[in-house]
């Protein structure tokens, strides 16, 4: 997930190449993360030959974090999605 977070999106072949994992291992991991709604498929990208590549990206609605800052006279509450956007 950190590789996808750094690059915004990446197809399975690129993930396998950059991590050193086998294509089968990457497929199993991506399928698991996709089933948990942490990853989403983006629009297929056509190349010159062969099947189009399907990049995967983090699902902004896949997980959320909450930040709370408490001061003497006030408090700030922040909700952050999986991509890092403040909501």
Averaged pLDDT, 15-27: 96
Percent of the chain exceeding pLDDT 90 equals 89
**Tens digits of per-residue pLDDT, 55-68?**
999 999 999 999 99
Given a cut of 80, whether residue 48 has pLDDT beyond it is: no
| pLDDT for position 50 | 83
- Domain positions in the chain are 2-59
Task: For residue 13, name the pLDDT band (cuts at 50, 70, 90).
Answer: very high
Query: Does residue 31 sit in helix, strand or coil?
Result: helix
How crowded is residue 4: how many other Cβ atoms within 10 Å of its Cβ? 19
Q: What is the CATH number of domain 2-59?
A: 1.10.10.10
Task: For residue 12, name the pLDDT band (cuts at 50, 70, 90).
Answer: very high
- Global pTM reads 0.81
Cβ proximity of 81 and 60 under 8 Å: yes
For residue 39, what are its two tokens? 């990853």
3-state secondary structure 46-85: CCCCCCCECEEEECCCCCEEEEEEECCCCEEEEEEECCCC
């Amino acid at each position: 997930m950190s590789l996808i977070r750094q690059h915004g999106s990446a197809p399975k072949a690129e993930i396998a190449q950059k991590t050193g994992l086998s294509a089968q291992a990457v497929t199993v991991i991506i399928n698991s993360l996709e089933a948990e709604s942490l990853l989403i498929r983006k629009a297929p990208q056509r190349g010159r030959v062969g099947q189009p590549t399907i990049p995967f990206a983090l699902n902004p609605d896949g997980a959320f974090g909450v930040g709370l800052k408490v001061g003497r006279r006030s408090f700030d509450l922040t909700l952050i999605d999986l991509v890092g956007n403040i909501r």
